[in-house]
Structure 1
Amino acid sequence: MLNRTLLCLAVACVSTPLFADTVWLKNGDKLTGTIKVFDGGKLLIETTYAGAIPLDWKQVKTLESDQKLLVKQDQYQGEIAKSLQASDDGKVTLLNGEAPKTVELASIQQIMKPKPIVTDLVWKGNIDAALDFQRAENDTDDYNVAFKTSARHGQWRHNAKGEYNRESTDELTTTDNWSAEYSIDRFLTEKWFWDGRINYKRDKIEDLSRQRTVGTGPGYQFWDDELGAFKLGALVNRTDFEYSNGEKDNFYSVAGTWDYNRFLIGKKVEFFTNGELGKPISGVADYSLEAEVGLRYKVTDWASLNLKAEKDVISGSSEGDLDKTRYTAGFGVTW
């Protein structure tokens, strides 16, 4: 008898989920799953029957959740609710151990799981690696490792990226370079921000051996949510060139930057492109271009396969033009 009772309890525990969030829509539909995040006008709910589903916030009637969630009614501050309780149309009740608080859905700007230390920290990024070894008449070794990450808290966003490339044929190195960049954005409004950045590049093969760039300027964030992001920026840069023969150039330039990514097919495939197009003010070169475009396919929640094309161009330089295109395929991790 005791064994039968324990078996029934075990079956009940397995068949009953620990918790399920519920979202009611204005058209009468109801979805159950796990609320992942609300940002950029989209509520993302993870379901067992259809994966991650983005919902237009304007179509949400009310919702409930047993999770502890950070609810922000303005851009910079919010309160942690122990759970959310369904309320009247267009409203939700926050339960946090004190008196319940009912708020308008239209007043909520963001919902997320609170982080341990910085509760509203949003950190995301990826690391991609591509390796190619060929042993034949000519032995070739190709390496490419790149990372990109950003962390946002309140009015500040920190961005960093870097890359290392090396190619050799029969032990003769034909490509050997690396680059690193850090930038910080200060949001002035919900969309407008001011950007300051520093970039350094080192190339042991090309005539242009070192580049150092410091820039600042405004930017505009069109959107940034679980389904992707898009921003444009304008910079005034100071750039220093150092060539392999010891000669140096320094000049000021204006540049436009872009950074776009979009998830497709239920967040399985990501299309991304980013880059910078610059024009020197002093006429040291006609223009410069750094661009990247690619696809990333998610094998699991954290692992991905990627295809990328990179283009580096410096046209009209007194020390000669640079025009390089690189294609890579590899494996990566995302978070």
Structure 2
Amino acid sequence: MYSRTLLCLLAASLCTPAFADTVWMKNGDKLSGKIKVFDGGKLLLETPYGGSIALDWKQVQTLESDQELLVKQDAYTGERAKSLQAAEPGKVTLANGEAPKTVELASIEQIMKPRPVVEDLVWKGNVDLAMDFKRAENDTDDYDVGFKTSARHGRWRHNAQGEYNRESKDDVTTTNNWSGEYALDRFITDKWFWQGRLEYKRDHIEDLARQRTVGTGPGYQFWDDELGAFSLGSLLNRTDYQYRDGGKDNFYSAAMKWDYTRYLIGKNVQLFTNGELGKPLGGVADYSLDAEVGLRYKVTEWASLNLKAEKEMIQGTSNSDLDKTRYTAGFGVAW
């Protein structure tokens, strides 16, 4: 009898979800699932019946959670709550042992799982890989590997990205280049930031062999949450060109950068585009464009299929213009 009771208790515990969070809406609906994050006015609730659901924070009446969560009432400082308890409409109680605190929902800026070292660290990124091998009258090999990542804590955001491309036809290499970029953003307000960045490109085939760019300037973050992000930035750049024949150019330029991502169809599909349009202040070139646009389809929580188009143009250089368009399809991982 005793063993049978233990077996029943074990079965009941296995059937109970690890976290049973509940959100009460102002229209009377009651939703259960697991709170993933609240940011940008949207509360992301992971449910077993509808996947990830983005709830309008203004329509939330109260909520509760058994998770330990970091609750931020401004953009830079937060309070670690061992759990959240439902309170009167428009409020929630942060449970911290003997000192619970009830706060207005309207005063909360973010809710997230606390990180081990930097509590408010938000780190996201992706790695994409595309390969194409053809064995026929002409043998071709095509590789494309790229990554992009962003880590934000408090007023600081670190951005890094890189890419490697290689193509060969009948053992003759026709494309062989790589690039890397690092940018550091310092947020002045919740939306406005100042960016400093360094970019380097190396091409072993084209006449324009090396490009190095150092720039700085202001930017504006329209939104950045679990459903996507959009930012615009303006930069004053110093660029150095080195050509295969030994020639060199250097100039200053004004540039506009954009970075847009948006999840669609319940976060199963991601639309993204980013790039930079620059205008030299001297007579070295007319303009430059480096941009990409594409789609990612999530196969699992971390794996995805991707389609991408890339465009790189430099018009009006003293040595040689550059105009390349590249289309790739492949797979990748995201976090």
Q: Same fold (TM over 0.5)?
A: yes
The answer for the alignment partner of 1:76 in structure 2 is 76
User: Partner of 1:232: helix, strand, or coil?
Assistant: strand
What is the distance in 1 between the residues matched to 2:269 and 2:289? Answer: 26
The answer for the alignment partner of 1:265 in structure 2 is 265
The answer for the alignment partner of 1:230 in structure 2 is 230
Shift of 1:7: 3.2
The answer for the alignment partner of 1:139 in structure 2 is 139
What is the distance in 1 between the residues matched to 2:154 and 2:29? Answer: 34
The answer for the alignment partner of 2:29 in structure 1 is 29
Structure 2 unaligned segments of length 5 or more: list them: none
Shift of 1:321: 1.2
Query: What value does the CA root-mean-square deviation take over the aligned residues?
Result: 0.8
The answer for the alignment partner of 2:288 in structure 1 is 288
Shift of 1:46: 0.2
Matched, 1:65 2:94: no
The answer for the alignment partner of 1:241 in structure 2 is 241
How high is the sequence identity, in percent, across the aligned residues?
77
What is the distance in 2 between the residues matched to 1:100 and 1:7? Answer: 36
User: Partner of 1:27: helix, strand, or coil?
Assistant: coil
* One-letter amino acid matched to 1:10: L
The answer for the alignment partner of 2:174 in structure 1 is 174
Count of residues paired in the alignment: 335
TM-score for the superposition, normalised by structure 2? 0.99
User: Partner of 2:4: helix, strand, or coil?
Assistant: helix
The answer for the alignment partner of 1:200 in structure 2 is 200
CA offset digits 1:130-184 (Å, max 9, x no partner): 0111111111110000000000000000000000000000110000000000000
The answer for the alignment partner of 1:13 in structure 2 is 13
The answer for the alignment partner of 2:191 in structure 1 is 191
Shift of 1:3: 4.3
The answer for the alignment partner of 2:4 in structure 1 is 4
TM-score for the superposition, normalised by structure 1? 0.99
Shift of 1:9: 2.1
Q: Give 1:78-93 correspondences, 5 Å limit.
A: 78-93=78-93
The answer for the alignment partner of 2:210 in structure 1 is 210
The answer for the alignment partner of 2:119 in structure 1 is 119
The answer for the alignment partner of 2:55 in structure 1 is 55
Q: Identify which range, 68-77 or 2-11, moves more after superposition.
A: 2-11
User: Partner of 1:63: helix, strand, or coil?
Assistant: strand
Q: Identify which range, 179-188 or 131-140, moves more after superposition.
A: 131-140
What is the distance in 2 between the residues matched to 1:178 and 1:50? Answer: 41
What is the distance in 2 between the residues matched to 1:67 and 1:158? Answer: 28
CA offset digits 1:18-61 (Å, max 9, x no partner): 33000001111110000000000000000000000000110010
* One-letter amino acid matched to 2:68: K
What is the distance in 2 between the residues matched to 1:298 and 1:315? Answer: 37
User: Partner of 2:17: helix, strand, or coil?
Assistant: coil
User: Partner of 1:7: helix, strand, or coil?
Assistant: helix
* One-letter amino acid matched to 2:171: E
What is the distance in 1 between the residues matched to 2:321 and 2:78? Answer: 52
What is the distance in 2 between the residues matched to 1:157 and 1:124? Answer: 11
Matched, 1:278 2:278: yes
* One-letter amino acid matched to 2:218: P
* One-letter amino acid matched to 1:144: D
* One-letter amino acid matched to 2:57: W
What is the distance in 2 between the residues matched to 1:162 and 1:203? Answer: 14
What is the distance in 2 between the residues matched to 1:16 and 1:212? Answer: 56
CA offset digits 1:191-227 (Å, max 9, x no partner): 0000100000000000000000000000000000000
The answer for the alignment partner of 1:300 in structure 2 is 300
* One-letter amino acid matched to 2:305: L
What is the distance in 1 between the residues matched to 2:152 and 2:260? Answer: 17
